[in-house]
């Protein structure tokens, strides 16, 4: 039950980030910095923060849902790493360190998330682990990249 709630909160958080981010980004012309300033912390906290909490406090249930082993140090380390992305994204946002810092934590998060998606895809193919929460990661990652690509490219052009 709690895993379903956390999963829903991740989708709602990312959905709100996209809705309000694109609304702010296109409010007066196009301002990719304003768009990313809003979107990046919400996306990272929604995905990494909630996944980190899930991994630390509900690790056994989360591992079972994905068809993975549970209780390892690596599982705990992964949850802590995810939480660190969320905390750093909030620090960058609160301290207003700017677009470069926001993109830096976003790229670090996306590096982890992209290779995590590959790991899930390989697990699905090699171990035939077709758990929904395992096979959806590559597709959701590609959707996230597609939705963030334009504002990221435009923000980088304006640095």
Alpha helices in the chain (DSSP H): 2-25, 32-44, 50-57, 59-66, 73-94, 99-126, 132-157
- Structure tokens of 59? 């690790």
Contact predicate 47/113, CB 8 Å: yes
- pLDDT level of residue 73 (50, 70, 90 thresholds): confident
- Indicate whether 94 pLDDT > 90: yes
Q: What are the pLDDT digits (tens) for 44-66?
A: 999 999 999 999 998 888 877 77
Q: pLDDT at position 1, please?
A: 84
pTM, full prediction: 0.93
Domain range annotation of the chain: 2-157
What value does the CA radius of gyration of the chain take, rounded to a whole number of Å? 16
- Residue 23's pLDDT band (boundaries 50, 70, 90)? very high
Which residues does 86 contact at the CB level (< 8 Å), separation at least 6?
44, 45, 48, 49, 52
């Amino acid at each position: 039950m709690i895993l379903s709630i956390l999963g829903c909160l991740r989708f709602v958080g990312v959905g709100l980030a996209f809705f309000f981010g694109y609304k702010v980004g296109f409010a007066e012309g196009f301002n990719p910095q304003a768009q990313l300033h809003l979107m990046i912390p919400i996306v990272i906290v929604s995905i990494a923060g909630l996944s980190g909490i899930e991994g630390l406090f509900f690790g056994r249930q989360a591992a079972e849902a994905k068809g993975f082993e549970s209780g390892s140090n690596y599982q705990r380390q992964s949850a802590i790493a995810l939480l660190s992305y969320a905390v750093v994204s909030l620090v960058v946002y609160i301290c207003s360190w700017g677009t470069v810092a926001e993109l830096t934590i976003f790229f670090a998060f996306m590096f982890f998330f992209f290779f995590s998606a590959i790991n899930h895809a390989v697990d699905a193919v090699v171990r035939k682990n077709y758990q929904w929460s395992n096979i959806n990661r590559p597709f959701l990652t590609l959707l996230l990249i597609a939705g963030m690509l334009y504002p990221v490219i435009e923000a980088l052009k304006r640095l």
